[in-house]
Amino acid sequence: MVAHVLFGGAPDDDSLLIGSGHQAGQGLPFLVAEDAGEVTGFAYCKPWRSRSAYRHTVEDSVSGAARRGAGRRLLADSAATGMRQMVAVVVETGDPASAALHRSCGFDEVGRLSAVGLKHGRWLDTLLLQRSPP
């Protein structure tokens, strides 16, 4: 069973290729985890907002590959991109793994949005977590 923590659906090979090209063109990390040639998950950073004032802030996204290190590596690699702030928008699905990963990597909860996403007929909350420079 694959669990996707994104409001979007399961990633396919084409969306991974498009996403990786887009992120690479912006100098942002895009990592893909694989096992025996099969994609098991991905992690990437994208701009937090499109306006210039936010150019030093990114949002990370981690999907699949639980306990395989892709998320932790992305969060570590992002420090090398020169981004000042990282924001994580974590969907509250009842599985605390993503929030726990982010907290273990220095993120603090800075907000909660109630019932802002609809998935599988259920309204879901999101947590806003932020990691600031030391």
pLDDT digits (tens, 9 = 90+) for 64-78: 767 777 778 777 776
The pLDDT confidence band at residue 62, using thresholds 50, 70 and 90, is confident
CA distance 117 to 18: 24
For the chain, which residues make up each domain, given as ranges? 13-131
CA distances, 103 to each of 90, 92, 107 (Å): 11, 14, 5
Q: Report how far residue 42's alpha carbon sits from residue 109's, in angstroms, rounded to the nearest whole number.
A: 23
The pTM of this model reads 0.74
What mean pLDDT value characterizes the chain? 78
In angstroms, rounded to a whole number, what is the distance separating the alpha carbons of residues 95 and 108? 18
Q: What is the CATH number of domain 13-131?
A: 3.40.630.30
Alpha-carbon gap, residue 65 to 48, rounded angstroms: 23
C-alpha to C-alpha distance for 24 and 13, rounded to whole angstroms: 16
